[in-house]
Amino acid sequence: MIKAMEEVVITGVGAVSAGTVGADSLFWTLAEGRSLIRSWSKLSALGFGNPSCVFIDNETWQAVDASLGPLEPEWGPQTRLALCAATEAWQRAGLGEHRVERGGVFLASNKHTFDEVQLRSLAPHMNWERERLQLDDFLRSGVTRPEAYFHKQQDQAALALAHRFGLQASHGAHGEACAAGAMAIGAAMQFIRAGLVDVALAGAAETMCNFMPLVAFSVVGALADGEHLKGGAISRPFDEARCGFVMGEGSAFLVLESASHAARRGAQPLARVRGFAGLLEACRITASADDGSEYARCMVEALQDAGLAPDAIDHINAHGTSTPTNDACEALAVKQVFGDRIAEIPITANKSALGHSLANSGAVEAVLATLSLHRQMLLPTLNYERACSPCAGLDIVTSTRSAPIKNVLSSSFGFGGANACLVLEAA
């Protein structure tokens, strides 16, 4: 006899972004139409023409560290952000000191995030004759600052979360580029559905506002150059004047539980995770199929997993990066899936205010979508003034509005062809 799948509910959320510690604080900041994008003197000093990004400033770091208690030497920036956001989600779920026998950690982040300081510290350990980097020598040299590269590995943050919350049944580290956060949430949902774990911390942490990621994304033409638009006006998803994304940082986590586990302890769900699709395509490294068909395929499979028809979706939390190619492809995909209903489905693009925090983007957007469902409130897309041709006809939300929402589609489409969609349902 086949066992029925467990229903998956969201009982807690947490988030950290630039100048905001707390999911509610972030939600209301965006609801007020405020952008977190700022000019950073560090980037100007490094010679970047566009010094705007969404970086974790010193004041925010102080608030993050104050929430953690005594800091361990192996906790790098990603781990500290993850612990802060996950602790908020755990407390909001009412778990407190509750011991979870079958719990898991599903964390997303991207590797290879060297900054200019780390490159200088590594250079003396390069054996140019053998064309090898002597990593053991590097470690023996005592270069173990908290921001060092080896403290940015995914397993460091996952291990810290597992230890702090006693979640030992399953661990997963995701690195599927910009789709990784949604992939982590989807994987946690699947484990709970299958009855393998009862509770999961699922989310992401990303600290990408540094030299190498910014250079890399600039070279491939994905970052906004800041030549024509400045500050908070730069990120403008689906707008005709969009010219690239703005880099962001942060962390966001959700507590996912089986509905039966939540009910046994009297927890009140914020929302449900109804469906998920995580697909890989082999089109191009930096772009999907021009006609939006691959994005559409992912949306359709998420709806099928949820057991819903397109007519059931009341709101779309779009990937909406503000890059010319992505936004056009995503708009075409929405039109393929939803047809004549496109003018009736309100669409929000959080990156207009948050920038693009890569692996964390899918996680923080899932948190915000959860709170939108819980509060029956749609967040605005900033800087949307005039649609380009592929985006024409979409209902882009430009100011906070109340609306009856039952089901939300949240999409994340990553470099390298990693695509993920979540379907969230009001509790």
| Given 151, 261, 319, 391, the catalytic residue | 319
DSSP state of 104: E
Closest CA to 314 of 400, 395, 412, 386: 395
Instruction: Give me the torsion for CA of 173, 175, 181, 182, rounded to 10°.
Output: -100
| Residues 170, 173: Cα–Cα separation, whole Å | 10
Whether 356 is catalytic is yes
Buried residues in 185-201 as b, exposed as e (16+ CB within 10 A): bbbbbbbbbeeebbbbb
What radius of gyration do the chain's Cα atoms show?
A: 21
Whether 163 is catalytic is no
| Residues 12, 92: Cα–Cα separation, whole Å | 5
3-state secondary structure string across 35-102 = CCCEECHHHHHCCCCCCEEECCCHHHHHHHHHCCCCCCCCCCHHHHHHHHHHHHHHHHCCCCCCCCCC
As beta bridge partners, residue 206 has 250
Contact 276, 382 (CB under 8 A): no
Burial of 167 by CB count in 10 Å (0-12 exposed, 13-18 middle, 19+ buried)? buried
| Residues 192, 103: Cα–Cα separation, whole Å | 9
For the record, the structure tokens of 253 come out as: 């986590």
| Given 53, 356, 391, 421, the catalytic residue | 356
DSSP state of 130: T
- For the chain, the straight-line distance linking the first and the last C-alpha, in angstroms and rounded, comes to 29
Q: Is 397 helix (H, G, I), strand (E, B) or coil?
A: coil
| Given 53, 84, 174, 178, the catalytic residue | 178
Whether 178 is catalytic is yes
Contact 21, 215 (CB under 8 A): no
**Sign of the torsion formed by the C-alpha atoms of 400, 63, 149 and 42:** positive
As beta bridge partners, residue 231 has none
Closest CA to 182 of 411, 417, 426: 411
Residues annotated as part of the active site: 178, 319, 356
